[in-house]
Amino acid sequence: MKITDYLTYIFPRTICFRLARQGVTKPVLPITLTFSVTNHCQSKCKTCNIWKIYPRKQQDPAGELNLDEIEAIFRSMGPIYFFNLSGGEPFLRRDLPDIVELALDYLKPRIIHSPTNAIATNRVIDGTRKILENIRRRGLTTPLTVKPSIDGVGALHDEIRGVPGNWEKLLATIEGLKELEKEFPNFHLELGTVVSNFNKHRLGEIEDFVHSLGVQSYRNEIAEQREEFVNIGDPITPTGEEYAELMKGFAGKIRQSMGAKRPLARMTESLRLVYYELAARIVKENRQVIPCYAGISNVHLTPYGDLWPCCVLGYARPLGNLRSVDYNFPAVWHSASAAAVRDFIRNNGCACPLANQAYSNIMCHLPSLCKAGMNMLSC
């Protein structure tokens, strides 16, 4: 994110978001859309049960949004800033580049991000290349980040992800994406770890391995029980004390390496330092330590056209369904059901360390934002 973008685009909207959260005004359109393009996933992760949805026939895979429906939704939304792809495994949708092209047409995002389990190496690399070529063909330089998951080194990664051979495919995917970085200046490879009770004692080993690969950007998120993951009740989350202790060492290494990184990476790392501190406090104190703007600054679109305030509340507290209103985003966004969900969040009905939402919350919270700025200036 550029400083000028924050001052001219995001900051004015944070004022609107704060007013909307207080009930003074109606919510303006969000700056962040996360779109779960599919629930299909080849992984069988210990921390997530999305992969069980279709085998258990809990939903119909044929019912996922098609391109015409996606176009109608994007057209009704208008411009956003952050466009996050999610799943399932996003690259299992063969039309993923077409979905991103529709986003470029209507949402006009300034930043695009997608995770991947890195199992289908060729599909990930080919799909990423096609997206980048589409961006270039339009004369744009929109940054695209692809983040393969790394939850352990060697056999531990395969054990946690539930797929034998995933480790070797991960390494092959990383190498292929590193080649794309050389060809496309707007492409950024990032690696990410879900810190769970299965790997919390191996985080240092994972981090050292990532740095040995020469990957500039690496982040972690604490494992969460989410409606989206269908894992409510699963004992996967480290304690707040454990996570806080892990993040002390992790943050120290970030500070040591920040000065040598590109401006975008430095800004991102500065925000992450604030996030890691907040996340540990949220888990320890089980409360919103800063105000949450889920369903105001951010929104989550499911493969079936449901709008969620976030993936943590998910099925339990949806804002509404876009298919039921002829794909009219404002109709759901300004509905009574959406207002009720926002009231629930504003009244501290929930608290979570969801990273995607936390970064928006930080940008809406002046003390946290100042702390991020100091982090950047001090490195």
Distance CA 270, CA 197 (A): 26
Q: List 86's β-bridge partners, or say none.
A: 36
Distance CA 11, CA 315 (A): 31
Distance CA 99, CA 157 (A): 30
Residues whose CB falls within 8 Å of the CB of residue 75, separated by 6 or more in sequence, listed in order: 106
Question: Is 103:73 a contact under the CB 8 Å cutoff?
Answer: no
What φ, ψ does residue 190 adopt, rounded to 5°? -135, 150
**What is the DSSP code (8-state) at residue 44?**
-
Q: What is the DSSP string of 288-327?
A: -SS---BTTTEEEE-TTSEEES-TTTGGGS--EESGGGTT
Residues whose CB falls within 8 Å of the CB of residue 80, separated by 6 or more in sequence, listed in order: 29, 30, 31, 32, 33, 107, 108, 109
Mean pLDDT by 10 residues, the chain (379 residues): 78 94 94 97 96 86 95 97 97 98 98 98 99 98 97 98 98 98 96 96 94 90 89 90 87 76 75 91 94 98 98 95 98 98 97 94 92 81
Q: What is the pLDDT of residue 302?
A: 98
**What is the DSSP code (8-state) at residue 45?**
-
CB atoms within 10 A of CB 15: 12
49: tokens are 């049960």
- b (16+ CB within 10 A) / e for 223-255: bbbbbbbbbeebebbbebebbbebbeebbeebe
Distance CA 377, CA 332 (A): 41
Question: Is 229:48 a contact under the CB 8 Å cutoff?
Answer: yes
Residues whose CB falls within 8 Å of the CB of residue 366, separated by 6 or more in sequence, listed in order: none
Question: Is 230:273 a contact under the CB 8 Å cutoff?
Answer: no
Distance CA 257, CA 367 (A): 24
- Classified as helix, coil or strand, 110 is coil
| Alpha helices (H) in 149-239, listed in sequence order | 155-161, 166-183, 203-212
**What is the DSSP code (8-state) at residue 145?**
E
Q: What is the pLDDT of residue 252?
A: 81
**What is the DSSP code (8-state) at residue 149?**
B
**What Rg value do the Cα atoms of the chain yield, rounded?**
19
Question: Is 311:225 a contact under the CB 8 Å cutoff?
Answer: no
Cis status, amide bond into 88, omega within 30 of 0? yes
Distance CA 221, CA 198 (A): 14
Question: Is 365:289 a contact under the CB 8 Å cutoff?
Answer: no
42: tokens are 């080849």
Residue 271: closest CA among 179, 203, 371, 343:
371
Residues whose CB falls within 8 Å of the CB of residue 187, separated by 6 or more in sequence, listed in order: 128, 132, 143, 144, 145, 146, 177, 180, 181
152: tokens are 């352990």
Classified by CATH at the fold level, domain 31-237+294-352 comes out as: TIM Barrel (3.20.20)
β pairing state of 306-308 and 298-301: antiparallel
